[in-house]
Structure 1
Amino acid sequence: MGLACTNTDIQPQQMETTAFKVLGAIGFSHLLNDMIQSLLPAIYPLLKSSFSLNFTQIGLITLTFQITASLLQPMVGIYTDRHPNPFSLAIGMGCTLIGLIILAFAPSYGILLLAAGLVGTGSSVFHPESSRIARMASGGRYGLAQSLFQVGGNAGNAMGPLLAAMIVIPYGRHSIAWFSLAALLAILVLWQVGIWYKRKQGPGLRPVAVSLHDKETIPRRTVVVSMSVLLTLIFSKFIYLASINSYFIFFLIHKFHLSVQSAQFHLFVFLGAVALGTVAGGHIGDRIGRKRVIWASILGVAPFTLAMPYASLEWTGPLTFMTGLILSSAFPAILVFAQELLPGNVGMVAGLFFGLAFGMAGVGAAVLGKLVDAHGIEYVYHMCSFLPLLGVLAVFLPDIEKRYKRFKAA
């Protein structure tokens, strides 16, 4: 089982084969991790009735989870760039396991917030290190590796609402405890990944030197402008996703008078499309260039989001599917693009972007919850439908793929 010799870009003749077994293991663990995490928003209607919560309090649950993850992820990434810790993935999953059990039996709203914070802590450890391992195992196919890693998470996010509809809603909140078995399985898998990681890093677990390819630096001004654009695109993408993940069920119930279970199946359709789009985005970005994928994904989804608030129930399903499919294709390309802008900082970049994604989603959920309480849920979906228009800023991204081609030809 081969892997790339460094956790950064290397020349083609130095590449080993893609380690699909490792990518499969972290992708499967990502599925289990995000399946557990997606149970939280999927049971919001149950929590709302059980604890008599308003939409602002629901938003604060999301905020607690997302902010915990977003604040810690960049710090975890920076630390592990310099001090690799192969078994941190299993330890982080342990935090998720504890948070899951507390969520199943929490007696009060304050304890619910504690459970959300523990799940967020587990996520903050999991994502930067898993992204690093995906790059190490990529064999140079960075976009494909990130897609395979991320699609596990997207598939888990899609399964959460479905499992909530099939298990948690009929049998009650205590049934969440059964999902601790999934967390235990993930810990076992990640421990084996940690053994592989430790063996590949060698004695002392020193960070790997940056290759000559990466030492050809990009001008600082270009990096600053490009990172600003990428962060703005992350803002537009994940605020919109927050509106879907936290409130789409309520929107469907309000507008079309669906049952909770029927609305959760619609959310499953959206999240399933997100999983498909993630796989496509990374692979296509490796072939045609990441800037083109970013441009087409963020801006290209705008016609569908603009139409969704006005659509009938029959059209809401197809529009939801196309929105998830197109919008999700951007994130693998954005992440790899940023890692190529800042070579040698794989964990930090992954932690920053995953952390920002969670943070934006958390802040967005809290703010949108306040707006729902003040103006109604349809107002929020009309407002959020314009966010993808920020994708026009992708025109300011440099063509770094051309730079790499010049380097290889030199």
Structure 2
Amino acid sequence: MSTTTVKQSNPIYPIMVAIGVCHLINDTMQAVIPAMFPLLERDLGLTFTQLGMISFVLNMFASLLQPAVGFMTDKRPFPYALPLGMVSSFIGLSLLVLSTQYWMILVSVLFLGLGSAVFHPEGSRVSFMAAGNKRGLAQSIYQVGGNSGQALAPLLSAFVILPFGMKGAAMVLVLTSMGIFLLTKIAAWYKRQLEAEKLSKVKRVLVSSLPPLTKKQVGFALVVLLFIIFARSFYVTNMTSFYVFYLIDQYGVSVERGQLFVFIFMAFGVVGTFFGGPLSDKYGRKNIILLSVIVPIPFCLALPFVPLYVALTLLIIIGMLIMISFTVTVVYAQELVPSKIGTMAGLTVGVAFGMGAIGSVVIGMVIDMMGIRFTMIAVSLLTLLLFVAFLLPKDNATT
């Protein structure tokens, strides 16, 4: 098959939106787990370390499998992996609803992790195929779906899971069934696109905004990028899984009110995610990554020490800024290695999941040993590591 650049003047917006909606459903299922932490602590008496281990198993399993799935589907695309992945998540969530013991929860999250690992690389490829020349916008729509699903977690916890328990979590199964149906339709479109490429003997490839780089430079850039993802994921995991306990301990708020604060953080993260891609299309990938990870640092450092009303303002600023880079780091990695779209999507998102998994366990253990306030301060200091973003190679749009 010959390889040439395929330019689409008209991006396929229905597919872009549809895969974004499926990403929302997929990540809503994943988000049910941290949303249940207050319920599991209250009803099963689980420690923070055990809660962290649940998140670790979920995210690490997804993390380890995503690059492998991406690598395999780069060589041999498998469109119907998308609905099959969501079927696995459906099984996992069904088992979770029936779980009454710690080990049963761990088994259920294995299925959820498998479903996520299969979905993300292939979902990112569908987004790429439908994007035309709107790579940043397409990836933003895709990631907004996922981050919106994650942002629903605190609302699910406050208004569905805490009042209704496991029956509340079962309500998400309705969404999952819709996702399986929609992904089956998307997979059929995906298969037709592959068949059309095969018949035309023209392969769709990514045009990179980066200048030519040596293998050593590409390797160094990937290491820096993954380090950024590590620090960002560690911080975001702390906020989404454990900051509610800090609000309860330090400010005396209710669980429901604390979850609303976390929702605000994540909701503005969705806003940042959406604008990240289009901004990077216009102003350059590196410029937007720097904006996203450097500007929030002083706000992150201040957050543990401010009054509650100031904390709300800082949560809005941090959430919106720090998540701008989520889309851009995926696109940047794909442009570093443009022949491996699925592998790079799996690697970057997989590392984000993996670092979130490790972060959950480490943070849970530190809270058990050192207390919630010490942990929040320590994690805020971790954001200083994000200064490594200055080491990324410049792209063509960077001034």
Q: Which amino acid aligns with 2:243?
A: F
* CA apart distance, 1:387: 2.4
Contact 2:88 / 2:111 at 8 angstroms: preserved in 1? Answer: yes
Matched residue pairs, number? 396
Tell me what 1:45 maps to: 38
CA separation in 1, counterparts of 2:107 and 2:198? 34
* CA apart distance, 1:107: 2.0
Tell me what 1:284 maps to: 279
User: Where do 1:100-179 residues align within 5 Å?
Assistant: 100-179=93-172
Q: Which amino acid aligns with 2:116?
A: S
Percent identity of equivalent pairs: 36
CA separation in 1, counterparts of 2:5 and 2:306? 48
Query: Which of the numbers 253, 260, 269 marks the counterpart of 2:255?
Result: 260
* CA apart distance, 1:159: 1.4
Contact 1:38 / 1:156 at 8 angstroms: preserved in 2? Answer: yes
Tell me what 1:3 maps to: none
SS, match of residue 202 in structure 1: helix
CA separation in 1, counterparts of 2:5 and 2:373? 49
Q: Which moved more, 1:163-172 or 1:334-343?
A: 163-172
- Two-structure CA RMSD over aligned residues (Å): 2.2
2:312 pairs with 1:312:
no
CA separation in 2, counterparts of 1:159 and 1:331? 18
* CA apart distance, 1:347: 0.2
* CA apart distance, 1:108: 0.9
CA separation in 2, counterparts of 1:35 and 1:173? 15
Query: Which of the numbers 296, 301, 315 marks the counterpart of 2:296?
Result: 301
Tell me what 1:343 maps to: 338
Tell me what 1:26 maps to: 19
User: Where do 1:9-408 residues align within 5 Å?
Assistant: 10=5, 14-202=7-195, 209=203, 211=205, 217-401=212-396
SS, match of residue 213 in structure 2: coil
Q: Which amino acid aligns with 2:323?
A: S
Q: Please list the CA deviations of residues 232-254 of structure 1 after superposition, one character each: whole Å capped at 9, or x if unmatched.
A: 10011000011011101111111
* CA apart distance, 1:212: 9.4
CA separation in 2, counterparts of 1:126 and 1:132? 10
* CA apart distance, 1:389: 2.1
CA separation in 1, counterparts of 2:202 and 2:231? 34
Contact 1:9 / 1:213 at 8 angstroms: preserved in 2? Answer: no
Contact 1:128 / 1:347 at 8 angstroms: preserved in 2? Answer: yes
Q: Please list the CA deviations of residues 41-79 of structure 1 after superposition, one character each: whole Å capped at 9, or x if unmatched.
A: 011011112211111000000000001100100000000
Distance 1:64 1:334, change over 3 A: same
Contact 2:25 / 2:176 at 8 angstroms: preserved in 1? Answer: yes
* CA apart distance, 1:312: 0.7
SS, match of residue 218 in structure 1: coil
Unpaired stretches in structure 1, ≥5 consecutive residues = 1-5, 406-410
Q: Which amino acid aligns with 1:72?
A: L
TM-score w.r.t. length of structure 1: 0.92
CA separation in 2, counterparts of 1:119 and 1:275? 22
* CA apart distance, 1:258: 1.1
* CA apart distance, 1:208: 6.6
Contact 1:210 / 1:343 at 8 angstroms: preserved in 2? Answer: no
SS, match of residue 17 in structure 1: coil
TM-score w.r.t. length of structure 2: 0.95
* CA apart distance, 1:176: 1.2
CA separation in 2, counterparts of 1:340 and 1:224? 13
Contact 2:56 / 2:357 at 8 angstroms: preserved in 1? Answer: yes
CA separation in 2, counterparts of 1:211 and 1:118? 33
Contact 1:269 / 1:321 at 8 angstroms: preserved in 2? Answer: yes
